[in-house]
Structure 1
Amino acid sequence: MSGDDGEGAAVRDFWERLGLPGLIDVHTHFMPERVLSKVWDYFDSAGPLTGVKWPIAYRHEEDQRLAILREFGVRAFTSMVYPHKAGMAEWLNGWAVDFARRTPDCLHTATFFPEPGAQAYVRDAVDAGARVFKSHVQVGAYDPNDAALDPVWGLLAEAGVPVVTHCGSGPAPGKHTGPEPIGRLLARHPRLRLVVAHMGMPEYVDFLDLAERYDEVRLDTTLTFTDFSEEFSPFPRAELPRLADLGDRILLGSDFPNIPHAYVHQLHALERLGLGDDWLRAVCHGNAAELFGLPDGP
């Protein structure tokens, strides 16, 4: 699986049928090559945070991965970087600002970790133009309510910068995953633009509750509804009406390149939910275009 022209045509056919100018994917990973190589090694070993065999569908050099997204018609995407320990986040942010400068279709992405100086380097990232942050509660194994992060969350809420947060307990639970810590966080920072990665898998219902309670909470579709995730964490079909009602706050995410299936499968998985073309148009482009202030046309 390499993003050949046949798959590119299938992806383009999907969004062209909807009358869209392309796709906006809020959950894609670009990071320093040696870091990405270690991530791929972890997936290859079926490490404890994955728990299942996880083939990487788009294991290519950076330039080829960028070319594939552009061939698909992905107009804007992210470089989701995340630290697994203290001392990494500021360095990753330095790489990410350079990547965004040389990759104009990338939404400048940054990250953080509960450590001394976090508020200062997050402020630096915002001042440098970061448009989205990544918080990986599972891999980082930190409590989002850690006191070192409180000024960070406050800063990001005030700035209105979205934070894509892996806080659900899938595919394997972490020390601080689940809806309860995020519920406490949002009670203190109700204006935080939190984007719950993977729809909060597997605690879908609880994270839908939080989205209904807090107007700035959004959810991304990453891996959700696909054959792969439905095997071990099926989305409850009784919740589809709520998914439809929250259609203005669901964002397309894919996890590219670290996905075990063709990119187009995520799109077809959304389509087979049967929620209609207007819902698909919003999820695959319109909602993210509004959130990030991107043009909605060609």
Structure 2
Amino acid sequence: MSGSARADVRAVRGFWEGLGLSGLVDVHTHFMPERVLRKVWAYFDGLGPLTGGIEWPIAYRAGERERTELLRAFGVRAFTAMLYPHKPGMARWLNDWASGFAARTPDCLHTATLFPEDGVEGYVREAVEAGARVFKAHVQVGAYDPADPALDGAWGLLAEAGVPVVIHCGSGPAPGKWTGPEPIAGVLARHPRLRLIVAHLGMPEYEDFLDLAERYEEVRLDTTMAFTDFSERMAPFPGRALPRLDGLRERILLGSDFPNIPYPYLHQLHALERLGLGEDWLRAVCHDNAARLFGIDD
């Protein structure tokens, strides 16, 4: 480990140790087959034209083992393998890979994914029965309507099983046909007990997704990239909504987007700290809420 990496590790650990925590729980980290991840990185490498010329350098562009060891060094007690298909016929293969990754990586919450296609309810059931603890859905990349009737049975199954779904449904960094709060509101109207974790706090439609969290008690939001200098340039969080974050303190979860972030991991933590919502809020967000949701014991 380089000197700069060791300093990065010390700073991250100093953050959570200063809060009296046993570590961090990060619900939004990416692990996927290497050739798929390389394509994701290529997308971010070319993202400048979609973000007004703002470049998106990958801060932790390294091999799987090095990335896993770095999260552990940071003190991340549990993390996820957020992965997602962009076409039919891909989700089951990704789920098979994720099952193997979870088996060899015990601190990774067994992750699975889905797509609106024939057989989706069947392979979602298989993944749940195989021990999947969290699902990832990406409306923007998949370019599908989350309220598509093809997904109705899968959403119902996940709601009944109580398995959380981290869903990228906001319109950042670039809007899609089915991004935004309306399609998700349709899903929740049919499945009000579905444990959706809205990625990126719903960026940039923050307040609309806060509305949904206040309406549905099983809706949560993750902090991924929110409040960072990078995101504040493109989609600033409205200051008037800060008290609502405090009101929802038990349903805000730490997410980072590691390794696909254009800044050090520590910056996400400092971005949360500078909101000024207090140490109790930080402890809840950075560890306790996700630990309770996923049954992670100290």
Instruction: Please say whether Structure 1 and Structure 2 have the same fold, judged by a TM-score greater than 0.5.
Output: yes
Quick one: distance in 1 between partners of 2:202 and 2:51?
Answer: 15
**2:274 matched to 1:267?**
no
Match of residue 112, structure 1, among 114, 131, 142:
114
Q: Counterpart of 2:135 in 1: which secondary structure?
A: strand
Quick one: distance in 2 between partners of 1:264 and 1:257?
Answer: 12
Quick one: distance in 2 between partners of 1:97 and 1:18?
Answer: 33
Structure 2 match to 1:138: 140
List alignment gaps of at least 5 residues for structure 1.
none
Quick one: distance in 2 between partners of 1:139 and 1:54?
Answer: 17
Structure 2 match to 1:11: 12
> TM-score scaled by structure 1?
0.97
Match of residue 198, structure 2, among 196, 199, 204:
196
Distance verdict in 2 for CA 1:248–1:270, change over 3 Å: same
Contact 1:137 1:166 in 2 (8 A): yes
Task: Kindly provide the amino acid, as one letter, of the partner of residue 36 in structure 2.
Answer: V
Instruction: Give the Å deviation of 1:47.
Output: 6.9
- Give the alignment of 1:28-47 within 5 angstroms: 28-46=29-47
Instruction: Give the Å deviation of 1:184.
Output: 0.9
**2:272 matched to 1:281?**
no
Instruction: Give the Å deviation of 1:53.
Output: 1.7
Structure 2 match to 1:26: 27
**2:168 matched to 1:162?**
no
Q: Which runs of 4+ in 1 moved over 3 A?
A: 47-52
Quick one: distance in 1 between partners of 2:36 and 2:207?
Answer: 33
Contact 1:49 1:139 in 2 (8 A): no
> TM-score scaled by structure 2?
0.97
Match of residue 153, structure 1, among 146, 152, 155:
155
Structure 1 match to 2:229: 227
Quick one: distance in 2 between partners of 1:95 and 1:47?
Answer: 31
Kindly provide the CA deviation profile for residues 227-283 of structure 1, in whole angstroms up to 9, marking residues without a partner as x: 000001000011000000100000000000000000000000000000000000000
Structure 1 match to 2:55: 53
Count of residue pairs the alignment pairs up: 296
Match of residue 248, structure 2, among 246, 249, 253:
246
Task: Kindly provide the amino acid, as one letter, of the partner of residue 280 in structure 2.
Answer: D
- Alignment identity in percent? 75
Quick one: distance in 2 between partners of 1:211 and 1:148?
Answer: 24
Quick one: distance in 2 between partners of 1:59 and 1:270?
Answer: 24
Kindly provide the CA deviation profile for residues 139-193 of structure 1, in whole angstroms up to 9, marking residues without a partner as x: 0000001111000000000000000000000111011000011111101100000
Quick one: distance in 2 between partners of 1:205 and 1:188?
Answer: 22
Q: Counterpart of 2:153 in 1: which secondary structure?
A: helix
Quick one: distance in 2 between partners of 1:110 and 1:75?
Answer: 19
List alignment gaps of at least 5 residues for structure 2.
none
Instruction: Give the Å deviation of 1:46.
Output: 1.4
Quick one: distance in 1 between partners of 2:9 and 2:84?
Answer: 29
Quick one: distance in 2 between partners of 1:197 and 1:30?
Answer: 16
Kindly provide the CA deviation profile for residues 16-45 of structure 1, in whole angstroms up to 9, marking residues without a partner as x: 000000000000000000000111111111
Quick one: distance in 1 between partners of 2:147 and 2:245?
Answer: 27
Distance verdict in 2 for CA 1:131–1:273, change over 3 Å: same
- Give the alignment's Cα RMSD to 1 decimal: 1.3
Kindly provide the CA deviation profile for residues 192-220 of structure 1, in whole angstroms up to 9, marking residues without a partner as x: 00000000000000000000000000000
Structure 2 match to 1:125: 127
